[in-house]
Amino acid sequence: MPDELAVRTESIRKIYQSGDQSVAAVDGISFEVHKGEFSAIAGPSGSGKTTLLNLIGALDEVDEGRIWVDGTEITALGRGERADLRKHKIGFIFQSYNLIEVLSALENAEFILLLQGVDPAERQRRVRAIFERIGLDGLEDRRPHQLSGGQQQRVAIARAIATQPALILADEPTANLDSATGAALLDVMEELNRDLGTTFIFSTHDPRVMERATRLIRLVDGRIVEDH
Amino acid sequence: MSLAMAFRLGWRNLWRHPRRTLLTALAFSLGVFLLIISLGLGDGMHEKMIETGVRVGSGHVVIEPADARSTVDELHYLSADTAAAAERLLHQADLREMVRGVAPRLLASGLLSSANNSTGVQVVGAVPDRERGVTLLPEKIVEGTFLEETGRTPSTVIGSALANKLGVGLGSKVVLMTQAGSEIQSQLLRVRGIFSTGMEDVDLRLVSMRIEDLQLAIQRDGAVSHLAIFLDGSERTEEVRRLVAQRIERGFDGDPPSVLSWQEAMPELAQFIVIDDAGNYLFNGVLLFMVALGVLNTILMAVLERRREFSLLLAIGMRPFEIAAMVMAESFLLTGVGTIVGLVLGWSLHAYWAIHGLDFSGAMDQGLSVAGVSVDPIVYSYLYPGRIRWTLIFVAILGFAASLYPAVRAARTAPSEATQG
Ligand SMILES: Nc1ncnc2c1ncn2[C@@H]1O[C@H](COP(=O)(O)OP(=O)(O)OP(=O)(O)O)[C@@H](O)[C@H]1O
Ligand SMILES: [Mg+2]
């Protein structure tokens, strides 16, 4: 796998059993994402966007196929190694409930650095710089419930990029936001992608969000139907 | 994740539901509180019973002839030489520091008669100076003195109930008939003191006189039935018994006397205490078990409503065991706070009752006694050494057990749940 690839998948399949029916949520997907790409995964509800992101993010295991993230074959890793890979190489932004309720914005953002064992001064330095960059300064000590939805998502972004991961996965990061706030969030992501070269893969329903991506992958029934 | 972080998170999580947390912690405090005070009152009552039993009987540790308990119908004595040798051993420095007093006694049974009546008695020949300050009778004299005066007629001290029965008072003459060898000997005695212990058996059956007078009466010059050893409390009984037994074994050729603890000398009392303690343990165990179920419930609820958070933490790279540690820290803090509060309150009340006592006379039948030892209705709380330490260990194990299942549940959350919108 060439160095410049952030992700590569090879014929991956994920099959869910519900009752006596089995659904191939991801049905033989092979694709590559280069470092520095800003890609969107689009598709109707139930098309497999979340499932695909979960597989790439090592949150779930494939039934068939192989996946590499930043040169490591994650489909060959055990539970603990996958946890370590998530901790060091992947940033996550979820649609909602991204933050730990009992921690302040700053503590949430530095949490993974803490898990990595980075010393407190360095954690503070990095996170404060990110907060300033993405317009969160002054909100460091607020608890999640004291932040707006857009601010909460920004804290999640701050947490995801604080560790300088190879890849950030975002599952419908703007779905719970109004369009103006969603657009502002995308501005932040775009800027980080441009200035720091962070690779983003995000899923969305929203045509306005798709427009912002440099690459658009469309899914239907667990298969890629369009990629440009 | 550091342990400090686990505790910080745990602490903050507890305060998400302050009322639930406080109620659970309070229940735990109550359990610990009840445990401490019931141990305090139980130990206090037992120690008092031991104290009484020991002071009216043969001491915390007793040195007696090896065959004293093997044949009941024959009396056995330590010779004057043996008794003196045994006493010398007790004067060694390490023992002297633990021993409060040693009283040589000569026992005999006999018939005590006045002009009006007569009754069977247990006679204790004692050395008054050795009894004073350590045994019960000198303290319980209500009339006269404890064998202090002597005259031409040897002195005796009898119980108030016996005085009533015989119709005698201070200064009265009584006759003691005892067996001396194969003959019956009569000895005229003058009542110079009357005691009242409140123990029916003791007040009616026990008679004391100077040991030399009794030796003379039964024609056993210098003989001693036992050496009663008194300690400052019952805790070091076994230690002293072992030390004395070792010395005696080494210091005597031939037939060394035997050394018994109060438990061996008063098996009924020892048994009562063991059974009473077992009852207390069972009650407290069940109580704390129920409280631990409360903790389990609270932590489990807290865990089940936070699945989302655990899956998030797992998704961003936390290890399952770190999740478990976080939950255990939470539970540890909950039970820890409860334990500290319960301990402080329990200890305070224990300290108060240790000084002022708790009066059970309203709840107790008049003159309750166990194995011939009266139970004082005023109980002074007392805790044997190690009680607090064992309480803490027990409570920690319970808290740990209660948090185990919730911790495992939390650790088993699937990281992919974080993405479910
Ligand atoms: N845990 C599961 N158990 C059973 N079936 C599942 C599970 N998760 C997803 N599926 C099924 O797999 C398919 C793909 O689901 P997925 O959540 O990946 O779609 P999606 O594109 O993210 O949809 P949405 O836009 O609604 O979020 C659907 O048919 C869904 O019902
Ligand atoms: Mg989805």
Read off the pLDDT of residues A164-209 as tens digits, 9 standing for 90 and up. 898 999 999 988 888 888 898 899 899 899 988 899 999 998 888 8
Lowest-confidence segment of A26-35, A141-150, A176-185 by average pLDDT: A176-185
Q: Give Cα separations from A137 to A111, A133, A157, A183, B164 (angstroms).
A: 17, 8, 14, 20, 95
- B222 and B245 housed in the same domain: yes
- Say if the Cβ atoms of B317 and A87 lie within 8 Å: yes
Residue B104, helix vs strand vs coil: strand
The CA B321 to ligand 1 mean position distance, Å, reads 29
- Nearest CA, atom 29, ligand 1: A46
Q: Which of B127, B98, B128 is nearest to B231 (CA)?
A: B98
- B113 and B237 housed in the same domain: yes
Q: Which of A196, A189, A158, A159 is nearest to A172 (CA)?
A: A189
In this structure, what DSSP letter does residue A205 have? Answer: S
CATH of the domain at A195: 3.40.50.300
Give the pLDDT band of residue B161 (cuts 50, 70, 90).
very high
Q: Which domain holds residue A111?
A: 35-62+78-227
| Chain A residue with the nearest C-alpha to that of B415 | A59
CB distance A16 to ligand 1 below 6 Å? yes
Tokens of B109: 């049974």
Residue A21 in any domain: the answer is no
- A85 CA to centre of own chain: 14
- B97 and B243 housed in the same domain: yes
| Contact of A157 with A189, CB cutoff 8 Å | yes
Exposed / middle / buried, residue B222 (Cβ in 10 Å: 0-12, 13-18, 19+): middle
Q: Which of B217, B242, B265 is the last residue of a domain?
A: B265
Hey, what's the torsion of the CAs at A205, A207, A211, A212, to 10 degrees?
-50
The CA A48 to ligand 2 mean position distance, Å, reads 7
- B257 and B293 housed in the same domain: no
Give the pLDDT band of residue B295 (cuts 50, 70, 90).
confident
Q: Which ligand 1 atom lies nearest to the CA of residue B421?
A: 27
Residue A52 in any domain: the answer is yes
- B197 and B132 housed in the same domain: yes
Instruction: Report, as an integer, the average pLDDT of A77-81.
Output: 90
Residues with CB under 5 A from ligand 2 (ion): A 50
- Number of helices (H) and strands (E) in chain B: give both, helices first: 14, 14
| Contact of B345 with B25, CB cutoff 8 Å | no
CB distance A28 to ligand 1 below 6 Å? no
In this structure, what DSSP letter does residue B417 have? Answer: G
The ipTM assigned to this model is 0.92
Tokens of B257: 């006397």
Tokens of B139: 């303290």
- B421 CA to centre of own chain: 64
Q: What percent of chain A has pLDDT over 70?
A: 99
- B240 and B306 housed in the same domain: no
Give the pLDDT band of residue B368 (cuts 50, 70, 90).
low
With 90 as the cut, is the pLDDT of residue A91 above it?
yes
Asked if the C-beta of B300 comes within 8 angstroms of chain A's C-beta atoms, the answer is: no
Q: How many domains are there within chain B? A: 2
- Nearest CA, atom 14, ligand 1: A48
Query: So what's the pLDDT on residue B372?
Result: 64
Query: So what's the pLDDT on residue A42?
Result: 94
- Say if the Cβ atoms of B416 and A60 lie within 8 Å: yes
For tokens 């969030």, name the residue.
A185
- B107 and B217 housed in the same domain: yes
Tokens of A178: 């109004």
Separation CA B368–CA B301 (nearest Å): 49
CA angle A48, A53, A57 (to 5 degrees): 150
- B16 and B65 housed in the same domain: no
The CA A50 to ligand 1 mean position distance, Å, reads 7
With 80 as the cut, is the pLDDT of residue B68 above it?
no
- Letter for the amino acid at A40? A
In this structure, what DSSP letter does residue B381 have? Answer: P
CB distance A8 to ligand 1 below 6 Å? no
Query: So what's the pLDDT on residue B162?
Result: 94
With 60 as the cut, is the pLDDT of residue B416 above it?
yes
Q: DSSP states of A62-105 as a string?
A: -SEEEEEETTEEGGG--HHHHHHHHHHHEEEE-SS--S-TTS-H
Interface mutation target, options B314, B416, B417, chain A, most CBs of A under 10 Å: B416
* pTM of the full structure: 0.79
Interface mutation target, options A111, A116, A174, chain B, most CBs of B under 10 Å: A111
With 60 as the cut, is the pLDDT of residue A162 above it?
yes
Mean residue pLDDT across chain B:
88
**Ligand 1 pocket mutation, candidates A49, A56, A95, A225, criterion most atoms within 8 A of CB:** A49
- B300 CA to centre of own chain: 40
Query: So what's the pLDDT on residue B420?
Result: 72
Which residues of B fall within a CB distance of 8 Å from A110?
none
Which residues of A fall within a CB distance of 8 Å from B415?
59-60, 83, 86
Residue A39, helix vs strand vs coil: strand
Residue A137 in any domain: the answer is yes
Query: So what's the pLDDT on residue B231?
Result: 92
Q: What is the pLDDT of residues B2-43, one digit of tens each?
A: 788 888 888 998 888 899 999 989 998 999 999 999 999 999
With 90 as the cut, is the pLDDT of residue A88 above it?
yes
Query: So what's the pLDDT on residue B72?
Result: 62
Give the pLDDT band of residue B409 (cuts 50, 70, 90).
very high
Residue A105 in any domain: the answer is yes
First to last CA, chain A: 21
In terms of DSSP bridges, do strands A64-69 and A72-73 run parallel, antiparallel, or are they unpaired?
Answer: antiparallel
Q: What is the pLDDT of residues B301-328, one digit of tens each?
A: 989 988 989 999 999 989 999 999 999 9
Which residues of A fall within a CB distance of 8 Å from B320?
79, 83
Residue A30 in any domain: the answer is no
| Contact of A113 with A76, CB cutoff 8 Å | no
With 90 as the cut, is the pLDDT of residue B378 above it?
no
For tokens 């009339």, name the residue.
B143
Q: Which ligand 1 atom lies nearest to the CA of residue B416?
A: 1
| Chain B residue with the nearest C-alpha to that of A116 | B1
- B96 and B18 housed in the same domain: no
Q: How many domains are there within chain A? A: 1
With 60 as the cut, is the pLDDT of residue A2 above it?
no
- B256 and B116 housed in the same domain: yes
Q: What is the pLDDT of residues B52-66, one digit of tens each?
A: 888 888 899 999 888
- B200 and B309 housed in the same domain: no
With 80 as the cut, is the pLDDT of residue B376 above it?
no
Asked if the C-beta of A202 comes within 8 angstroms of chain B's C-beta atoms, the answer is: no
Nearest-Å Rg of the Cα atoms of chain B is 31
- B151 and B223 housed in the same domain: yes
Lowest-confidence segment of B2-16, B173-187, B364-378 by average pLDDT: B364-378
Q: Which domain holds residue B32?
A: 3-54+270-419
Residue A175 in any domain: the answer is yes
Q: Which of B247, B265, B283 is the last residue of a domain?
A: B265
Residue A17 in any domain: the answer is no
Residue A89 in any domain: the answer is yes
Query: So what's the pLDDT on residue B421?
Result: 57
- Nearest CA, atom 26, ligand 1: A45
In terms of DSSP bridges, do strands B206-210 and B141-144 run parallel, antiparallel, or are they unpaired?
Answer: unpaired
CB distance A50 to ligand 1 below 6 Å? yes
Query: So what's the pLDDT on residue B200?
Result: 83
Q: What is the pLDDT of residues B111-122, one digit of tens each?
A: 999 998 999 999
Which residues of B fall within a CB distance of 8 Å from A162?
none
Give the pLDDT band of residue A143 (cuts 50, 70, 90).
very high
Q: Measure B402 CA to nearest chain A CA, in Å.
A: 23
Task: Give the one of B1, B315, B414 whose C-beta lies nearest to A86's C-beta.
Answer: B315
Separation CA B274–CA B259 (nearest Å): 22
